């Protein structure tokens, strides 16, 4: 998560106040005063799904969550592959 000011986030979503309100309402970003905690990739993905593909909010929530889980699984597989490679190198 990255911290953004509301103004910076507004620039990221091309001035769409309603979209930011919906992101906060749906729990995809956290707002504290004028500072937002944002996963930029998730916001951009949600924006694309909403504007370009006309996916509804329940679908956006599922896709964003599954994308995050897939990315975490990929990172874990990379870590495991690196650990196995290190172990194999140390055996020789």
pLDDT 10s digits, 36-68: 888 999 999 999 999 999 999 999 999 999 999
Tell me which residue has tokens 């055996």.
Answer: 91
Structural domain of 34: 2-91
7/27 Cα distance (integer angstroms): 19
State whether the Cα torsion 10-14-18-22 is positive or negative.
Answer: negative
Number of domains in the chain: 1
Say which CATH number the domain at 82 has: 1.10.1660.10
DSSP state, residue 53: S
pTM for this model (two decimals): 0.78
Q: Quick one: pLDDT band at residue 70, thresholds 50, 70, 90? A: very high
pLDDT 10s digits, 23-37: 999 888 888 887 888
Rg (alpha carbons) of the chain, rounded to whole number: 18
């Amino acid at each position: 998560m990255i911290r953004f000011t509301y103004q910076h986030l507004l620039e990221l979503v091309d001035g769409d106040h309603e979209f930011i309100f919906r992101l906060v309402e749906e729990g995809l970003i956290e707002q504290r005063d004028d500072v937002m905690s944002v996963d930029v990739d998730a916001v951009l993905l949600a924006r694309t799904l909403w504007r370009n593909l006309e996916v509804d909010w329940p679908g956006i929530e599922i896709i964003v969550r599954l994308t995050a889980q897939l990315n975490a699984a990929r990172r874990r597989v990379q870590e495991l592959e690196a650990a196995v490679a290190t172990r194999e190198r140390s055996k020789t």
